[in-house]
């Protein structure tokens, strides 16, 4: 049972008709979208009672990754974010009946725009006003960070504050056959310098250039909510500003699209919380440690034979750069 | 004994031919894959050329940091010895034994080791810190 089969498409059309309360739904197009090592995205065009809708059907890929949410959980997270006016694709229908396509999936709005980081950081036609875009991203992030556990429900999400992150990354390193002293140092530095008190809000945990769509030079929406958790809002800021996500413009600290000033000022104004230089440095170190851990997980998928892939294999050779960045950030006490 | 040219020479001429003759003619849809192939060949070539000099140096530095004075073993033994030392160093860093005295020596060693790795993985990261070459793999999920 695959989405390319005619019978599957017929069942899918039936599901869409029921879920949308339409009289008739006709599937006009259903094509796999590029990208998405973890989830499979399909561009789905449906004609509902004569009106064309452009959607994305999001389903689990064959290779699942530790730590990512199920489709049902991601759907719930998107609903909460969308209701809080965070720019993101609107979640429409969740299907938990495996008889439809064989796998659980949900349907969301398909936003226009470009996400590729190497394009957005290079092409000024795509981003004519980087500072304006950085402010939009900051305000959007601040709206996300207004969502607290009490407000959101989402009981299934873990809480990952600084010390939880450290323990989690160490436990992963302990499963590997080789030791990584530079990453251990990064974690030790994070432990020594861990914040005394932390706010806890909804955090995206992959809020960065490459994971949002820009359309007509403006932010259309943030994608990839599969790593969402409750945690320290500063983690998202450190991740967004970390050098590893600046692509072609490592000199532009706010995601390779603008300097830090506009991003932080707008975030502070909308959120009402200060971002201190020390916070930024701390969460950039944590960001690089985390990116190294994710890279190691990707290499493991190649090495173990779970998913042999040149792309995953080459990820092993970015570890040195991440380690160098950790050393650059932590050498001065 | 294998016929010449050896693995390193073959890889080098295969890479040069690929980069100068194939890469410019690759259609847009395959360009990213072709760049990854070129990158993998270049890393493999530099790795073969580097031999085990860096591994010997790492062993020597690690034995100093961990107050050991065992001579570096040969061949496979050397890799195992370095892995064992690295495991010990990692544990001691985690336990805080390099927080104070010894911190500068430990950091010096980590930087040296990282630079030696980068000489094989991505030499551009050493000479030009402005060039962010992680992007080729960093953007994979979009």
Q: What is the pLDDT of residues B69-119, one digit of tens each?
A: 878 888 889 999 999 999 999 999 999 999 999 999 999 999 999 999 999
pLDDT of residue B71: 83
Separation of alpha carbons A259 and A253, rounded Å: 5
Residue whose C-alpha is closest to residue B57's, from B126, B99, B119 = B119
Residue numbers in chain A where pLDDT is lower than 70? 1, 34-39, 61-67
pLDDT of residue A102: 86
Of B94, B106, B137, the CB nearest to A318: B137
How far apart are the CA of A28 and the nearest CA of chain B, in angstroms?
24
Q: Does B133 touch chain A (CB under 8 A)?
A: yes
Q: Does A115 touch chain B (CB under 8 A)?
A: yes
Helix (H, G, I), strand (E, B) or coil at A78: helix
pLDDT of residue B130: 46
How far apart are the CA of B95 and the nearest CA of chain A, in angstroms?
8
pLDDT of residue A265: 98
Residues in chain B with CB shorter than 8 Å from the CB of A308 are none
pLDDT of residue B108: 97
Helix (H, G, I), strand (E, B) or coil at A312: helix
Question: What pTM does this model have?
Answer: 0.91
Interchain pair B135, A331: CB under 8 A:
no
pLDDT of residue B137: 41
Interchain pair B94, A184: CB under 8 A:
yes
pLDDT of residue B140: 39
Residue whose C-alpha is closest to residue A222's, from A66, A91, A54 = A91
> What ipTM score was computed for the predicted complex, to two decimals?
0.89
Interchain pair A250, B115: CB under 8 A:
no
Helix (H, G, I), strand (E, B) or coil at A145: coil
pLDDT of residue A21: 92
Q: Does A188 touch chain B (CB under 8 A)?
A: yes
Interchain pair A246, B86: CB under 8 A:
no
Interchain pair B93, A180: CB under 8 A:
no
Average pLDDT value for chain B: 88
Separation of alpha carbons A290 and A168, rounded Å: 10
Does pLDDT of B134 surpass 50? Answer: no
Given a contact cutoff of 8 angstroms between Cβ atoms, the answer to whether A240 and A262 are in contact is no
Q: Does B16 touch chain A (CB under 8 A)?
A: no
Q: Per-residue pLDDT tens for A80-114? A: 999 999 999 999 999 988 889 888 899 999 999 99
Does pLDDT of B131 surpass 80? Answer: no
Residue whose C-alpha is closest to residue A245's, from A236, A256, A257 = A256
Interchain pair A321, B107: CB under 8 A:
no
Interchain pair A250, B132: CB under 8 A:
yes
DSSP A82-99: HHTT--SPPEEEEE--HH
Interchain pair A251, B130: CB under 8 A:
yes
Does pLDDT of B26 surpass 70? Answer: yes
**CA-CA-CA-CA dihedral for A6, A100, A36, A233, to nearest 10:** 150
How far apart are the CA of A267 and the nearest CA of chain B, in angstroms?
25
Q: What chain A residue is nearest to B41 in terms of C-alpha separation?
A: A314
């Amino acid at each position: 049972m695959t989405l390319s089969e005619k019978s599957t498409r017929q069942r899918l059309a039936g599901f869409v008709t029921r879920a949308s309360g339409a009289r008739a739904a006709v599937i006009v197009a259903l094509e796999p979208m590029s990208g998405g090592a973890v989830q499979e995205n399909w561009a789905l065009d449906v004609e509902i009672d004569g009106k064309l809708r452009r959607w994305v059907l999001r389903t689990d890929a064959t290779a699942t990754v530790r730590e990512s949410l199920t489709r049902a959980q991601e759907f719930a997270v998107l609903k909460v974010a969308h209701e809080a006016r965070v720019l993101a694709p609107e979640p429409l229908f969740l299907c938990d009946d495996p008889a439809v396509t064989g796998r659980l999936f949900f349907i969301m709005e398909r936003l226009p725009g470009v996400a590729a980081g190497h394009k957005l950081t290079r092409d000024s036609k795509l981003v004519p006003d980087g500072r304006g875009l950085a402010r939009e991203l900051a305000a959007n992030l601040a709206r996300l960070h207004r969502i607290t556990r009490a407000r959101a429900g989402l009981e299934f999400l873990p809480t990952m504050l600084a010390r939880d992150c450290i323990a989690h990354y160490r436990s992963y390193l302990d499963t590997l056959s080789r030791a990584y002293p530079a990453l251990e140092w990064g974690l030790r530095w994070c432990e020594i310098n861990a914040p005394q008190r932390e706010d806890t809000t909804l955090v995206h945990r992959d809020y960065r250039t490459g994971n949002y769509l820009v359309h007509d030079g403006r932010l259309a929406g943030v994608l990839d909510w599969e790593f969402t958790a409750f945690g320290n809002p500063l983690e998202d800021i450190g991740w967004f500003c970390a050098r590893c996500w600046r692509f072609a413009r490592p000199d532009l600290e706010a995601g390779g699209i603008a300097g830090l000033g506009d991003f932080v000022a707008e975030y502070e104004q909308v959120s009402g919380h200060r971002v201190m230089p020390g916070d930024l440095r701390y969460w950039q170190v944590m960001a690089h440690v985390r990116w190294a851990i994710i890279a190691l997980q990707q290499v493991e998928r190649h090495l173990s034979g779970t998913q042999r892939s040149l792309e995953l294999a080459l990820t092993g050779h970015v570890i040195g750069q991440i380690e160098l960045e950790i050393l650059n950030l932590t050498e001065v006490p | 004994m294998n016929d010449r040219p050896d693995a390193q020479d073959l890889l080098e001429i295969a890479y040069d031919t690929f980069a100068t003759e194939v890469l410019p003619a690759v259609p847009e849809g395959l360009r990213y894959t072709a760049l990854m192939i070129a990158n993998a060949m270049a890393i493999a070539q530099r790795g073969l050329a580097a031999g085990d000099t860096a591994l010997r140096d790492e062993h020597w530095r690690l034995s100093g940091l961990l107050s050991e004075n065992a001579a570096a073993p040969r061949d496979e033994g050397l890799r195992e010895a370095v892995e064992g030392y690295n495991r010990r160093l990692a544990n001691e860093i985690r336990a805080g034994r390099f927080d104070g005295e010894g911190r500068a020596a430990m950091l010096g060693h980590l930087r040296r080791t990282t630079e030696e790795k980068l000489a094989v993985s991505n030499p551009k990261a050493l000479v030009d810190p402005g060039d962010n070459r992680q992007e080729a793999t960093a953007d994979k999920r979009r």
